[in-house]
């Protein structure tokens, strides 16, 4: 029995692909077979792949594709809203010596991490289904965006 990693029917995948192509054109991007293959590879899984993982997957239908193309394309997809980067991932590990309850905002441009504290966010309740299935070690409300310093430029 083979592991099933797809998440939708071919009909739905094709429909999404059509809308993706329209989105590319709306954003002035060329519709290349590589781009389509990467989009289809990403949208048809819930594994939150890295570029490397997706590269392996797409190579099966597009053997010559380069890792750089996969990386660049995934960032392009994120820019036009056809994909997104999972929160926090992709940067150097950052440490915190403050043990008080607090939350973080991270600037996607300069990578600055700013503390804030909103008491309501200390008390978020993890759904029972999740708490039963996983051992929760940390729960956080996490914001990303452009910081004040980067904005005034």
Please return the burial class of 93, using the count of CB atoms within 10 Å of its CB with bins 0-12, 13-18 and 19+: exposed
**Bridge partner list, 103:** 116
| C-alpha 6: how far from chain center | 17
Is residue 78 part of the contact set for DNA (CB under 7 A)?
A: no
* Ranges within 92-131 binding DNA (CB under 7 A): 92-93
Among candidates 45, 142, 70, which has minimal Cα distance to 103? 142
Which of 42, 65 has the CB closer to Mn ion? 42
Judged by CB under 8 A, the residue of 11, 63, 89, 152 near a copy of itself is 89
Which of 85, 147 has the CB closer to Zn ion? 147
Residues that bind DNA (CB under 7 A): 24-25, 29-35, 50-52, 62, 64-69, 71-73, 90, 92-93
């Amino acid at each position: 029995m083979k592991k099933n990693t797809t998440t939708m029917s071919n009909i739905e995948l094709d429909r999404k692909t059509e809308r993706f192509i329209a989105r590319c054109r709306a954003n002035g991007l060329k519709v290349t077979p590589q781009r389509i293959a990467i989009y289809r590879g990403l949208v048809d899984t819930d594994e939150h792949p890295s570029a490397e993982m997706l590269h392996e997957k797409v190579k099966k239908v597009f053997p010559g594709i380069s890792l750089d193309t996969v990386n660049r394309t995934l960032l392009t997809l994120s820019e036009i809203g056809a994909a997104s980067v999972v929160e926090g991932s992709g940067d150097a590990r950052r440490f915190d010596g403050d043990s008080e309850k607090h939350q973080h905002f991270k600037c996607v441009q300069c990578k600055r991490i700013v503390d804030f504290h909103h008491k309501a966010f200390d008390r978020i309740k993890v759904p029972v289904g999740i708490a039963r299935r996983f051992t929760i070690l940390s729960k956080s409300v996490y914001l990303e965006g452009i910081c004040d310093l980067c904005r005034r430029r």
